[in-house]
A = this chain, B = another copy of it.
Amino acid sequence: MILTVTLNTALDVTYSVDALVPHRSHRVGEVVERPGGKGLNVARVLGTLGHDTVVTGFVGGPTGAVLRDLLAPLPPRDALVPVAGNTRRTLAITDRTTGDTTQLNEPGPQVGAAEWAAFLRTYGELVAEADAVALCGSLPPGIHVGAYAELIRTARAAGVPVLLDTSGEPLRRGIAARPDLVKPNAEELARLTGFREPLRAARDARRRGAHAVIASLGPEGLLAETPEGGWRAAPPAPVRGNPTGAGDSAVAGLLSALAEGLDWPGRLARAVALSTATVLAPAAGEFDAAAYAELLPRVTVEPYAATS
C-alpha cells in the first residue's frame, strides 16, 4: 500500500467565465468541483496506475463533506482525519477565450493540538502497513512548521521510504529530518539553497539531509541527485498544454516505481512520462493514458558523474 498525506486538503473548484476583469460582475458558466490538495492528486494518479493507495490528512466542515463524497467513488481509500474547521476551497477561474487561469486559495482550517495528536495516531498505524509514503503540500494554520520533520522521522523509524513535496520553511525543516526523496521545482530549490543553478542547488539540498533530490525543470524534465548517481531525464520533445498537476504526477511516478522495485532510470522515466502525459491531458490534473504509454519508452535518461 502507498500512503499519501495531505494535511491541507482542498476542494478544487473551477469557474469558467468569458474573461476575468477586476471590479466587474461575471456570470459563471460552469462550476466543476473535485478533491484536491497535492497528496490527493498523487493518490488519484497512483489509483489509476492500479496501486493500492490510502489518503490521510485533515478534512472537516461542509466543504470537507463535499470532498469526501467526491472521493468515495475513486480508487484511493479515505483515511482522512476529521477536524472541526472547514476544509479550504481552491478556486481556479478560467477565461474561456484565452484558457488563462486565475487562482484563489483559501487558507484552510485551524487545526488544534488534539486534532494533530489524533492524526499522528492514524498516521502511525498507516505507516506500519505502507510500502512508501508521500508528504505533500502546504500546512494548514495551527500546524507547527516542523510537522513534516516529525512525520519523516516516524516513517524512517518504521523503515518505510518517504518522499517530501512541499516548499518554504516546511521543506527546509523537513529536509533536515533526512527524507528519502524530495521533489522541489527549480524555484523552490533556489529559495531553499540560494543557488539558481539546479545541479548545484540539488547537491546542496542533499548536503542539507535529503538522500535523493529530484528537481523538476518544467518542460525539460527532471534532474536527479541520488546516492546511486546523477541523471537527467527528459521527454522526447517539449509539449504544450496545462501544467497543473504535472508535479503531482511526477511524484506518483517516482513513488509507484519505487514501490515496484524499479531502479532510478526506471523511476525517472515513469515520472517524466506521467508528468508529460498530464500536461497533454485536456482536464487539469488528469493524465492521458495513451500518451503515457507512448511516451514511456521514449523518455531519455542520461547519467552523469555521481557526487557521493
Is A122 among interface residues, defined by CB-CB distance under 8 A?
no
Interface with B: A20-28, A127-135, A183-191, A197-205, which one?
A20-28
Is A62 among interface residues, defined by CB-CB distance under 8 A?
yes
Which positions 100-122 of chain A face chain B at CB distance < 8 Å?
100-107
Is A66 among interface residues, defined by CB-CB distance under 8 A?
yes
Asked if residues B28 and A105 are in contact (CB atoms below 8 Å), the reply is yes
| Chain A positions near chain B (C-beta within 8 angstroms) | 15, 17, 20-29, 31, 62-63, 65-66, 91, 93, 95, 100-107
Asked if residues A104 and B22 are in contact (CB atoms below 8 Å), the reply is no
A62 to chain B, nearest CB (A): 5
Enumerate chain B residues within 8 angstroms of A95, measured Cβ to Cβ. Answer: 22
Contacts A31-B106, A91-B91; is A100 near B65 (CB within 8 Å)? Answer: no
- In angstroms, Cα B106 to Cα A279, docked, is 28
Please name the 8 residue pairs, one residue from A and one from B, whose CB atoms are nearest each other, closest first: A25-B103, A23-B100, A20-B22, A28-B106, A62-B66, A26-B104, A22-B102, A31-B106
- In angstroms, Cα B147 to Cα A78, docked, is 44
Enumerate chain B residues within 8 angstroms of A22, measured Cβ to Cβ. Answer: 20-22, 95, 100, 102
Asked if residues B100 and A26 are in contact (CB atoms below 8 Å), the reply is no
Partner of A17, one of B17, B28, B104: B104
Closest to A28 in B: B106
